[in-house]
Amino acid sequence: MALAAAYIRTDTGGELPSRDEQRAAITDFAAQSGHRLVAVYEDLDAPGQLLYHRPGIKAAIDNIKEEEDWEVLIVAHPRAISDTDSAVHEFVHKLSLYNNRLESPLRSWDEFLERMKSYRRAMSRK
């Protein structure tokens, strides 16, 4: 059983599911995937552009760098990380460097990795 953390971000525009909806989706996904939730990070009513301006995501990053309390970060939707693909790919890359994973009911770790690698290849060609 992998130790996991949940990350929830809501936005002021209501484009993301509510906190309770995200929590339920994450809890269900964790149970189905055999993950045990040990932490929850939240950024409520937070903008979706810059990762490092949100205390919840910063705390999750600090955990993977220093404490290593969990190995999987679960989000209900990839947009909970960021509204921009480049920020999501940056975050996936950071997780991979520390042997952590990002998972979602909508996208597996392998899919996150493949999209990140494709994005990085495309950027290197520019």
CATH number at 43 reads: 3.40.50.1390
Per-residue model confidence as pLDDT tens for the chain (126 residues): 899 999 999 998 889 999 999 999 999 999 999 999 999 999 999 887 778 889 999 999 999 988 889 999 999 999 999 988 889 999 999 999 999 999 999 999 999 999 999 988 988 887
For the beta sheet containing 101-103, the strands, ordered from the edge strand earlier in sequence to the opposite edge, are 35-43, 2-9, 72-75, 101-103
Number of structural domains found in the chain: 1
CA distance linking residue 68 with residue 98, whole number of Å: 9
CA distance linking residue 71 with residue 118, whole number of Å: 23
Domain that holds residue 24: 2-125
Residue 124: its pLDDT value, please? 86
- Output the pTM of the full model: 0.93
